[in-house]
Amino acid sequence: MSLENIQTPIGNLSIYFNLNKIYKISPMGKVKDVSFQFDDYDPSAFRVYLSAEIKSFIDDLMKFTDGNFESLSKYRPNIEGSSFSSNSLRAISKIPAGETRSYKQVALLAGYPNAYRAIGTACGKNPLPFIIPCHRVVNSGNKVGNYVMGPRLKRQILEYESEIKEKDHIAVV
């Protein structure tokens, strides 16, 4: 596994990857978040080998953090994990840009109608923020709520996506 730390307009991020697969994006310094997922985890063994695909992803991530929130829309995650977690993240992945769903709505979509609090936990453990759009999941009453990258960024992304959707709607009419 490799680690690439990048400086972005929203803060320093760590990207954990192996060849052409990205495992996790997190604020820099949260290496312990990855250690439980990989039996062979050894921080001293991290090496930096950037394939063309990973370089392209990092370029797109930089565009995203600089305000081009559509730059990551082409990436489709391979969601793995327990059935609850994977079903929750798959349901979240289907929320269109410019729209939000409440934790309760996502719980219904994922097939766990009474697990809306657990949806928040699944969002907090989302290994690929920005790609799996947990920022589109809000509290009841459309309150922004928490986000692994901070509520300010969550609000900013939601506002931008809403503006883009509105512009697209106006252009179609």
pLDDT of residue 141: 86
Nearest to 128 by CA among 36, 33, 29: 33
pLDDT < 70 regions, the chain: 29-50, 168-173
Q: Which residues of 96-125 are buried (b: 16+ CB within 10 A; e: fewer)?
A: ebbebbbbbbbbbbbebeebbebbbebbee
pLDDT of residue 133: 92
Distance CA 166, CA 164 (A): 5
User: How many CB atoms are closer than 10 A to CB 161?
Assistant: 20
pLDDT of residue 170: 54
CA distances, 7 to each of 16, 47, 60, 130, 171 (Å): 15, 18, 13, 16, 35
pLDDT of residue 47: 44
pLDDT of residue 50: 67
DSSP, residue by residue, 72-135: TTT------S-HHHHHHHHHHHTSPTT--EEHHHHHHHHT-TT-HHHHHHHHHT-SSTTTS-GG
pLDDT of residue 29: 63
Distance CA 26, CA 102 (A): 23
pLDDT of residue 38: 39
pLDDT of residue 137: 96
What residues are labeled active site? 134
Distance CA 35, CA 54 (A): 21
pLDDT of residue 44: 42
